[in-house]
């Protein structure tokens, strides 16, 4: 049996996990920094990096203890090497390098996006290839996943990522932080038909996304209402926003399905925890007669298990990294794809 320790520190979750090659998650410890950033309405990179430094050693120890293993028992150590907030990425990667040097273990420098992209194989054993909708705070992409390290990007955001749009909408409507769950809760009480909002790029060729104009339109609708906004106004605006975002995602994903051929549809990333979006994607897959896989919410948001699993897949292919591998703030899964404003 192959065992890999995974470390994730790319944003505001400090995480460590141990995963086995039979797809068992032996431990998966995540420390959220939500309270550290709540007052700012978003993640502050310097605060995040310091929190990783304070917590990571203890979380790794806890992950190993919960798995019932000593460090010497694992076969490799994986860590996010990018993309992400560079201070946090450095903390996790340097820690992994130190552990590898001390315990004579191979290092697996994992692309954070590949962690999300391969999670469906951890939870369901899904075979390649499949169409991936990757939606998170920093990313919004459609990719064909052909194999480990083999990705073809069909579309990406040309401005803001979908999770960023949710966070800024929540801040505008004073719904709380983190924005995604706050908007979803408010939307459940709202009337999605009350406000007319634009659908950027809808109907246009290609599979790219745009959310900047949608946020501007939402701000204008909110400013035209009596201030401060009533609770029902906020709920209706949130519902209208979420409905339009869902329609945009479905339209772009269906276009990608036409380009990629008949293959399973997978959604991953933090925004994949949004129940309304998952239901619409599941219905789209059923309409086209293809399997649909969405990891459980705990494996959609950033976690160590996805990094451990991506590292394990790479280890089995002999794709190990030297100890001088550099952290990267930007790291596209498909380096050949054009990157108009892409966040990776």
How high is the pLDDT of residue 336? Answer: 87
344 touches 331 (CB < 8 A): yes
Q: What is the pLDDT of residue 321?
A: 98
Q: Which residues in the chain come in under a pLDDT of 50?
A: 340-343
Q: What is the pTM of this model?
A: 0.93
Among the listed residues 293, 314, 294, the one whose alpha carbon sits nearest the alpha carbon of residue 111:
314
pLDDT at 35: 80
Residue 142's nearest CA partner among 151, 132, 130 is: 132
Check if the beta carbon of residue 139 is closer than 8 Å to that of residue 161. Answer: yes
114-135: b or e for each residue (b if 16 or more CB lie within 10 Å)?
Answer: bbbbbbbbbbeebeebbbbbbb
Q: Which pLDDT score is estimated for 344?
A: 52
Indicate the helix (H) or strand (E) that contains 25. Answer: strand 25-32
pLDDT at 43: 84
Ordered domains of the chain (ranges, CATH): 3-118+298-316 (3.30.420.40), 128-290 (3.30.420.40)
Query: What is the pLDDT at residue 341?
Result: 47
Q: How far apart are CA 2 and CA 126, in angstroms?
A: 19
Question: Which backbone phi and psi does 73 adopt, to 5 degrees?
Answer: -85, -20
Per DSSP, 148 falls in state: T
pLDDT given at position 49? 94
């Amino acid at each position: 049996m192959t065992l890999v320790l995974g470390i994730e520190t790319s944003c505001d979750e400090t995480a460590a996990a141990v995963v086995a090659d039979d797809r068992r998650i032996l431990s998966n410890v995540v420390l959220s920094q939500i309270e550290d950033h709540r007052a700012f309405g978003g993640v502050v990179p310097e605060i995040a990096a310091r929190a990783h430094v304070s917590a990571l050693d203890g979380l790794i120890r806890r992950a190993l203890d919960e798995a019932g293993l000593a460090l010497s028992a694992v076969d490799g150590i994986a860590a996010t090497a990018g993309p992400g907030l560079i201070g946090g990425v450095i903390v996790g990667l340097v820690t992994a390098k130190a552990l590898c040097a001390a315990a004579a273990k191979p290092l697996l420098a994992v692309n954070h996006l590949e962690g999300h992209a391969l999670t469906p194989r951890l939870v369901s054993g899904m075979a390649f290839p499949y169409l991936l909708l990757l939606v998170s705070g920093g990313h919004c992409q459609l990719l064909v996943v052909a194999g480990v390290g083999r990705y073809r990007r069909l579309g990406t955001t040309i401005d803001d990522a979908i999770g960023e749009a949710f966070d800024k909408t929540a801040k505008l409507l004073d719904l709380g932080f983190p924005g995604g769950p706050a908007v979803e809760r408010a939307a459940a009480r709202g009337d999605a038909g009350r406000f007319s909002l634009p659908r950027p790029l809808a109907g246009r060729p290609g599979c790219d996304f745009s959310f900047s104009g949608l946020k501007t339109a939402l701000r204008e609708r909110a400013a035209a209402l009596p201030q401060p906004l009533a609770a029902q106004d906020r709920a209706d605006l949130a519902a209208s926003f979420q409905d339009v975002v869902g329609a945009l995602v479905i339209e772009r994903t269906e276009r990608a399905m036409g380009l990629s051929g008949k293959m399973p549809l997978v959604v991953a990333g933090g925004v994949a925890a949004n129940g309304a979006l998952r239901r619409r994607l599941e219905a789209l897959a059923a309409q086209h007669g293809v399997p649909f896989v969405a990891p459980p919410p705990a494996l959609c948001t950033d976690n160590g298990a996805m990094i451990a699993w991506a590292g394990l897949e790479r280890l089995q292919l002999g794709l190990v990294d030297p100890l001088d591998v550099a952290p990267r703030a930007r790291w596209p899964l498909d380096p050949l794809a054009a990157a108009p404003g892409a966040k990776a």
